[in-house]
Structure 1
Amino acid sequence: MNPALGILLFFVTIILMEGFAYVAHRWVMHGPGWFLHKSHHSPRTGNWELNDLYAVIFAVPSFVLLLGGVHLGWWQGYAWIGAGIAAYGAIYFGFHDVIVHKRLDTRYIPKSNYMKRIIQAHRLHHVVETKQGTVSFGFLWAPAPETLKAQLKARGNAGIREPVGRF
């Protein structure tokens, strides 16, 4: 396979994974898969939560495509697609688990408007602790925080977590 085509497949896969992640998050994790994802909308008491099983579930297609494209004689493009899925997973881990949820200690402070926007959007997603009423399901793209706040307000702030601490 032409390496340029492989690299194109790799980057197109990363882009398409954002759409897949949105759909999976909106209609699977906040739908029939809530039994796993609910742990992610609750305070974590240790290093792991039931929601972490989604990382394993979503790694399976990447692993199978890489294995098939590299070792099993399948079309080589499958390896590039599998690598794109894995790269999206790594980007997701870095953004979601390290930067937003601080599951690893880091001194990162967002400076760009883009990073501030997606971090704030993800935090607005997490103010809702119920299956319904949540906003912003993407990971690398999100509507403006003002839009998300208006959506939460229009829903009557249903399911919003009680404030923690004194004000």
Structure 2
Amino acid sequence: MQKMNVESFNLDHTKVAAPFVRLAGIKEGQHGDVIHKYDIRFKQPNKEHMEMPALHSLEHLMAENIRNHTDKVVDISPMGCQTGFYLSLINHADYDDVLVILEQTLNDVLTATAVPACNEVQCGWAASHSLAGAQALATDMLAHKDKWSIIYQD
């Protein structure tokens, strides 16, 4: 296959084994700041996906709560294929620490009683949310945390 400009387009999605957390890229700025981009894959590509209301709520919950565990977050955003999220961190390269931060954030999702910013003023599609769905996704991801570092199928 032709090498593509987008890193994930060069990933063989038939060989990965979700759930996993993968370093997807590193970018260095001209002043020495370094961005580490992580592929946090919740669902097996082309086999399953997250339903939009659950994914949307999980996005809100993770985006709000992850910042309680690190001040290095640039962005956390869902993949269009609905199988995971991208997490970008600035000047933070410790993979094992990223796993701890993710676990803490997902545990926050489990104890949430509401989805933050789930209203028409703060959200572009406030009618599309599911706290229970987000919590089910977090529960499933946490149940497989011992496999987060295993990216490829045997």
Q: Report the TM-score when normalising by structure 1.
A: 0.28
User: If the length of structure 2 is used for normalisation, what is the TM-score?
Assistant: 0.30
Relative contact order, CA 8 A, sep 6+: which one is greater?
2
Larger radius of gyration between Structure 1 and Structure 2: 1
The structure with the greater share of residues assigned to helix is 1
